[in-house]
A = this chain, B = another copy of it.
Amino acid sequence: MKLPRNTIRRLSHYLRCLDILDLKGVQLVKSRELACMCRVSDSLVRRDLSYFGDFGKKGVGYNLPELRERILQIMGLDKVRKVVLCGVGNIGTALLRYPFKERNFEIMAAFDTDPKKIGMVINGIRVYPAEKTSELTSELGVEIGIIAVPPEAAQKTADLLVEGGIEGILSFALIPIEPKKDVVIQYVEIATELEILSFEIEERKRRR
């Protein structure tokens, strides 16, 4: 069964709401509460969760720790995933400080081509020369590579990561990349999203 992409995205949102409710000491959560926090309909929450079997009790709601644990399992977030980061610019540096560990992602190493950055340790993570990418990725058994290099360097970086045996890539580079092997790719294109926003604003003005 192929799950809708948006269901997966919402599972991630539900998880975040469950975190917030958990901190408040909530033990039982109703689909209505999750729906309200995530700004979707009640029935959508129930449908999303029903893909994974029978979680809740009618009228009582879901046991929060159980539901949380189950979603973590489904998303593969219940075990440590090793990550490397390529490109230690502004965004790369912010990512080294990002609390990915809360979801079991462990950044093992960072890579850059700038000799001034090589050897630096940011938030406990050491920066290695970019040419070590494949070797270290493979040695450390890394599953995910984050690409935060300029667009011109994105493809080469992806090739090095794939050579190192990576399973998935999260790319912040502002251009599509083509992996040499069949790996999963997700994009986060900050400038592109802002440019699309600009287009939409302009379109609305044209229509007014």
Residues of B within 8 A of A184 (CB): 197, 200-201, 204
A15 closest partner in B (C-beta): B195
Among B152, B170, B194, B204, contact of A170 (Cβ-Cβ < 8 Å): B194
A13's partner among B75, B175, B193 (CB-CB below 8 A) is B175
Instruction: Give the total of A residues in contact with B, Cβ under 8 Å.
Output: 64
Contact residues, A154-208 vs B (CB, 8 A)? 167-170, 174-178, 184, 186-205
Interface positions of A from 62 to 99, Cβ below 8 Å from B = 74-77, 81, 90-91, 93-95, 97-98
B198 and A193: CB pair below 8 A? no
Given the known interface contacts A17-B175, A98-B91, the answer about A188 and B191 at a Cβ–Cβ threshold of 8 Å is no
A9 cross-chain contacts in B, Cβ below 8 A? 189, 192, 196
How many copies, total?
2
Q: How far does the alpha carbon of A199 sit from the alpha carbon of B104 in the complex, in Å? A: 13
A178 proximity list for chain B (CB < 8 A): 39
List 16 extra interface pairs beyond A75-B202, A186-B193, CB under 8 A.
Answer: A8-B199, A9-B189, A12-B174, A12-B192, A16-B151, A20-B151, A20-B152, A38-B176, A39-B176, A77-B198, A90-B94, A95-B190, A146-B194, A169-B197, A170-B193, A184-B200
Main secondary structure of the interface of A (DSSP, over half): helix
Q: Which of B8, B176, B177 sits near A196, CB closer than 8 Å?
A: B8
CB pairs A–B below 8 angstroms (21 shown): A9-B189, A9-B192, A11-B199, A12-B174, A12-B196, A38-B175, A38-B176, A39-B176, A75-B198, A75-B202, A76-B199, A76-B202, A98-B190, A167-B201, A168-B197, A170-B193, A170-B194, A184-B200, A186-B193, A186-B196, A186-B197
